[in-house]
A and B are shown apart, each in its own frame.
Chain A
Amino acid sequence: MKKEWDEKQERKQKIAPIFMSTGIVIILLLVVFCMFYFHSSIMKEGLKDSIKYNQYDKHYVLITGNNADPLWDSIYEGALEQAVEENAYVEYLGKNLSVDYSINELLQIAIDAKADGIIVEGNESEETTALIDKAVTSGIVVTTVFYDSSQSKRQSFVGVNSYNLGQEYGEQLLELCDESTERIFVLMDTNATDSSQNIVYLGIKEAVEKIKDNQIAIQAVAVDNENAFSAEESIRDIIMDTQNIPDIMICLNAVNTQCAYQAVVDYNKVGEIKIIGNYDSDTILGAIEKKIIYSTISIDARQMGNLSIQAMEEYMDTGHVSGYLPVNTKIINEDNVNLYRNAKQEMIEND
């Protein structure tokens, strides 16, 4: 018994130093680990501001009249993607500002800020034309996008051929028209001053006229897009006007399309009013799947952004560039909406 106790004591004596040194090592490890942990966490916090940003040679700005439109986001992404390849950076001017500046004001700012190039949603107003000219004279390359300022000295225009676009709308319309179709509204943007909408309208009208013995009344309806939310109100007004309900609505931009779709759903006019839309936002694609929107014409917005940067780069390299660069359009309807959606998803994942 006693011997056992002695042995135990002796064993203890042998184990004690091992235990002790292990304890010390554990403490030291703990302290060192915590030291590293805190250091790294503090460094992480501290480095938040100084994350390495990339530096570029050229500074381009994108100026649009409506920076809420998802179309312009896509154009911006396309432009940025291309610009980074050319060692340039694109700023979406006005996006982060506390004041909503008009295109003209933004143009002035871009000139004052001495940007290297301006991508601008053009229009035919004199003031814009003058500002574009001023920019070009002060050595800034200007590309108009989507809408042109044809009278200005802009180096290039990247956009859809409005007449072709009209034709495509027309084709969609023909598929949709039947004997009961009486009234077609084409929703037009009031503050678009260029002629492109008119050309689109013309294209649509030509298509409608191909139908023999038609009783169809085609009508351009002005939608006020000047103030925030005004488009939505205008479209609701149209739908609530029960006397004058259209059979088919053709929307020429993304915002109008989305508004029209929402209004049709809200006022329970699904099936009664058919919509031909523009652009390919998720909402719009969803509406096509639900058969609320018949089809939409999507402009390859990214390509538009790409092309505008390419145009500017080409001009800077060679001193001249083609004055008009066409952008592809694509019709999305019930048949190919899934395909399109998957392709889009893939592209996002690749990004």
Chain B
Amino acid sequence: MKKMREVLINRWKKLTIQLKLTLIFIFTSFIIFAVMFFMYLNINSMIQEIDKVYVSNVKLNELTDSLESVHTSMTDYLNTKSSDSLENYYRNEQEFRDLLDSLNSEVIDNDMLLMEKNIKSMSEGYLVLTNQTMQAKRGRNIEKYNELYEESCGLFSYINTFIYSLNNEQFKSNSNNYKLLLVSLQYLEVISATILIAVTLANIILIFLLTKSITRPLMKLARAANEVAEGKLDIKLVNVDTLDEVGIVARAFNKMILSIRNYIEQIKEKMETESALKEKELIMKGHLKDAQLKYLQAQINPHFLFNTLNAGAQLAMMEGAERTCLFVENMADFFRYNVKKINQDTTIKEEIKLVDSYIYILNVRFSGEINYSKEIDSSLEAIKIPSMVLQPIVENAVNYGIRNINRKGFIKVAVFQKERKICISVKDNGIGMGQSIIDRIMRGEEKETDLSKNSTGIGLGNVISRLKLYYNREDVFSIKSDGMNKGTEVLLYIPYQK
């Protein structure tokens, strides 16, 4: 049953709209036609019944007429003895007998049928009497035929009374039937009309539903199209599983929506990457500007300063103060680097050189407190990195690591390759730091406080952000410390590119 239904539904879905509409029309017309046909049959059979009602009365009237003819022709013969009347008599007698045959001759508990039986028996007796009368007339037995005639007349009147009474009874019962039939005919009319109305209503509902099944996909399609027109492209696809014209349009529509969506998606992606790139650039620039500004704040006129320093170094050389001369040269290098490199990438080698100058200056300032050592893989010295990266780290190690310890401070800078990364390590033996401070620095939350004293002004945070932006990755920087007074190691991870 279910399978059959599915098959039917599938078949229906495969039909074209034209065929569907035609089928609906044929189906509903067929229902109406069937109902009409059935009603016509009913009314027809009813009318036939009504026709039959008075047939029995007509038959009885025929019987009376026939009996009358028999009696008349007998009387005629008795009067005239003509051969015509004799012939008439025999013909009428035969007719009468034929009519009698249709009467009931059984004992049945219905008064009317019993009367028929009586009429039949009496009529048979009557015909015997009339025959005898005719014979007596032929034999000229006047006395006998008179007597028989009298007798048959009596019987004739009895039979007539019986037929008349039976006719009456039948008429009564027939009238009753007739009335009932008329009433039921009226009922039939009312109920026929009711059925017709009901079927028509049902048909309307049926047509409504069937046509709705055709137009529903259209409506869906229109709705979807309206939504698309309003700019909502993320609508659900139109679900139409019919194979008719609407189905074809719907599928085309779906395809269109999908391809539009795809296209928009592509444009979006493109725009997103572009904007991300731009953003990065902007941030980068911002940070550089920031670093630059800080340098400018710290070094009012580096050109003037390092020219002056150079003049100082030459003066020291002339006076034979070699150490002063070296010190002033280093300072000049340090400031020159800042002026020169601030806007461009540099190499590891240059950065290390800057650190060397810085340490030398510090050692002069603080009379050789810092033990500085290097462990450089010379093959990596040419690798490009952003400028002003290493020095702030070393500065940090000096300021926060070894400045305030009583023992001798060490700082070790190492450059080596680890897996596919280049590691630059700045290690000190200072006071170290707690994990919470490390985390805060890594997140860029720790504020650089003493910019004014002993600092080039670039904080760790600035270095970290610049590295992250430059290499576009997060794992560029780590700080390791085993705890209080156990020193700190800052590691930079630079992706290795040949």
Contacts and interface: CB of A to CB of B under 8 A. Distances in A.
Given A46-B49, A109-B118, A59 B107 contact: yes
Contacts of A293: none
Q: Could you say which interface size class chain A belongs to?
A: 35 or more
B108 A17 contact: no
A97 B187 CA distance: 36
A57 B108 CA distance: 9
Contact of A45 (B56, B177, B212): B177
B266 interface: no
Contacts of B103: none
B117 A112 contact: no
B177 A98 contact: no
Contact of B158 (A9, A48, A54, A108): A108
Interface string B112-126: 011101100110011
Interface string A8-36: 01000100110110011011001100110
A23 B49 CA distance: 35
Interface stretch (A88-96, A241-249, A308-316): A88-96
A88 B108 CA distance: 9
Contact of A20 (B121, B206, B216): B206
A13 B46 contact: no
Interface string B225-252: 0000000000010000000000000000
A16 B213 contact: yes
A113 to B, nearest CB: 4
A91 B205 contact: no
A16 B177 contact: no
Contacts of B113: 53
B108 A27 contact: no
A99 interface: yes
B122 A113 contact: yes
Contacts of A96: 111, 115, 165-166, 169
Contacts of B154: 108
B317 interface: no
A16 B209 contact: yes
A31 B32 CA distance: 11
B199 A20 contact: no
Between B35, B42, B106, B114, the greatest number of chain A beta carbons within 10 A of the residue's beta carbon is seen for B114
A91 B113 CA distance: 11
Interface string B75-117: 0000000000000000000000000000000111111011101
Interface residues of B, number: 56
B184 interface: yes
Interface in B326-347: none
A17 B206 contact: no
Q: Is the interface of A mostly helix, strand, loop or mixed?
A: helix
A113 B117 CA distance: 8
Contact of A89 (B107, B125, B168): B107
Contacts of B202: 23-24, 26-27
B122 to A, nearest CB: 4
A20 B213 CA distance: 11
B258 interface: no
A109 B122 contact: yes
Contacts of A58: 107
A98 B34 CA distance: 50
Interface in A34-54: 34-35, 37-39, 41-42, 45-46, 48-49, 53-54
Interface string B159-172: 00110111011000
A351 interface: no
Contacts of B161: 97-99, 101
B216 A13 contact: yes
B107 A88 contact: yes
Interface in B183-217: 184, 187-188, 191, 195, 198-199, 202, 205-206, 209-210, 212-213, 216
B206 A23 contact: yes
Nearest to B49: A46
Contacts of B210: 20
A56 interface: yes
B109 A56 contact: yes
A57 B195 contact: no
A317 interface: no
B460 to A, nearest CB: 52
Contacts of B181: 45
A27 B199 contact: yes
B31 interface: yes
A18 B370 CA distance: 93
Contacts of A42: 42, 45-46, 49, 184
8 contacts: A17-B9, A49-B177, A56-B107, A91-B111, A98-B165, A105-B158, A108-B154, A108-B158
Top 3 nearest A-B pairs (CB, nearest first) are A113-B118, A59-B107, A114-B121
